[in-house]
Amino acid sequence: MTIKIRLEKHFQESTFHNPMLGNALDTQQLEIRRDPLTGCQSVFNPRLEDKVALFFSPSDPALIERLARESESRCFLCGDRWKQMTPTYPAEVIPQGRIEVGQAVLFPNLFPVSQVHAVTRVGASHYLPLKEFDVNSVREALHASLAFVKSISSAMATVRFLSINGNYLGPAGASIAHPHFQIVGGDQPFTYLEHILERSKKYSGENGSCYWINLLEIEKETGDRFIGETGGVEWITAFSPQGTNEVLGILGQKRDFLEMSEEDMEGLSEGFCKVLKGYDLLGMSTFNFSVYSGPLASQDDSFRCYVRIISRQNVYENYRTDDYFLQKLLRNELILTTPESLASTMRKVFSAEKHD
Ligand SMILES: [Zn+2]
């Protein structure tokens, strides 16, 4: 095999007198992983493996229900309120002003953070536990999001860098409980997208092959982090995660959003809901995700579309954020559940529902 992807681990030791062990000298082993494309590092201390509860206390269901109940009456995504309360696009961008697909509705964000910034309602329910996200609602929302991308591509040809994203619940950055996705984009890529597009191009130039295809090949060969396949999407856990419980779904045949089909959206929705069920099994209740695309219509063979999903802090009174200086300022991630153990949990969810 000529694949040049290197999955590097670096080991360190940290030694001190530990009062928990009668002040005996204690040496803890640290494993530092490096993402083979970006070089981003993550650190695993096996001694923290059974201490996940120190970092992520369980969600408080009564608190979630109270917050949901209190916000439902003023939610602009509930019922038909969006018809009065949400903005519309100019006719030359979206002829009907908004895009409706089943229960999904897409409209402009009132306070954009990018040249193009749309919001998509996901289903009619104001609040859903992660295990109740259904494939149909997610598919409708992705369908609306992709229809929007296609409209933007013809109405605003300079907008070539888009992504489909989401925050779920307060600790993950969502300002409303009602499930919703956000499409952001413009004439230049966001920092992370720019970085992975550049690195993918460099890899392709040096190796004469696509990093994302090669990554799937080695992950399928070793199997430690490979989860499964839904439609045209192949799912793995990240070797060096940049968020808690990071899962990637790679569309090996698609270079940008314009190449995506109904079948891809079906596969993406199915796998997405399974990952959320896996998070529920792990006791997590919030998430962030982004679906990345190569520049629209560029046919950039060094890149493949993929989704990156991470879980975030749970919902409870006075929760502590899961992002601290380590992530925000030093840009290293902390691994509490190893990618291999996470893949093992996810494989159970993916295979359990194969025959449903
Ligand atoms: Zn609502």
Distance from Cα 183 to the centre of ligand 1, integer Å: 19
Distance from Cα 76 to the centre of ligand 1, integer Å: 6
pLDDT at site 342: 97
Distance from Cα 181 to the centre of ligand 1, integer Å: 13
pLDDT at site 53: 83
Distance from Cα 69 to the centre of ligand 1, integer Å: 10
Distance CA 107, CA 182 (A): 10
Strand, helix or coil for residue 233? strand
pLDDT at site 353: 59
Distance from Cα 150 to the centre of ligand 1, integer Å: 27
Is the CA virtual torsion 43, 347, 344, 54 positive or negative?
A: positive
- Cβ(274)–Cβ(350) below 8 Å: yes
Return the bridge partners of 288, or none. Answer: 167, 310
pLDDT at site 277: 98
Average pLDDT, integer, range 155-177: 96
Distance from Cα 66 to the centre of ligand 1, integer Å: 14
Angle at 22 between CA 18 and CA 25, to 5 degrees: 45
Where does the pLDDT of residue 102 fall: very low under 50, low under 70, confident under 90, or very high at 90 and above?
very high
pLDDT at 3 over 90: no
DSSP sequence for 276-320: HHHHHHTT---EEEEEE-PSTT---TT---EEEEEE-----TTPP
pLDDT at site 306: 98
Return the bridge partners of 167, or none. Answer: 288
- Per DSSP bridges, beta strands 287-292 and 306-311 are antiparallel
pLDDT at site 49: 85
Where does the pLDDT of residue 52 fall: very low under 50, low under 70, confident under 90, or very high at 90 and above?
confident
- Cβ(163)–Cβ(291) below 8 Å: yes
Distance CA 264, CA 277 (A): 20
Distance from Cα 71 to the centre of ligand 1, integer Å: 8
pLDDT at site 151: 97
Distance from Cα 133 to the centre of ligand 1, integer Å: 14
Distance from Cα 121 to the centre of ligand 1, integer Å: 9
DSSP state for residue 131 in the 8-state scheme: G
pLDDT at 219 over 90: yes
- What's the one-letter identity of residue 8? E
Query: Helix H segments across 156-229?
Result: 191-207, 211-222
pLDDT at 356 over 50: no
pLDDT at 158 over 50: yes
Closest CA relative to residue 9, chosen from 279, 347, 344, 340? 340
Distance CA 215, CA 211 (A): 6
Residues with CB in 5 Å of ion ligand 1: 75, 77-78, 126, 178
**pTM of the predicted model, to two decimals?**
0.96
Distance from Cα 233 to the centre of ligand 1, integer Å: 30
Distance from Cα 288 to the centre of ligand 1, integer Å: 19
Distance from Cα 43 to the centre of ligand 1, integer Å: 38
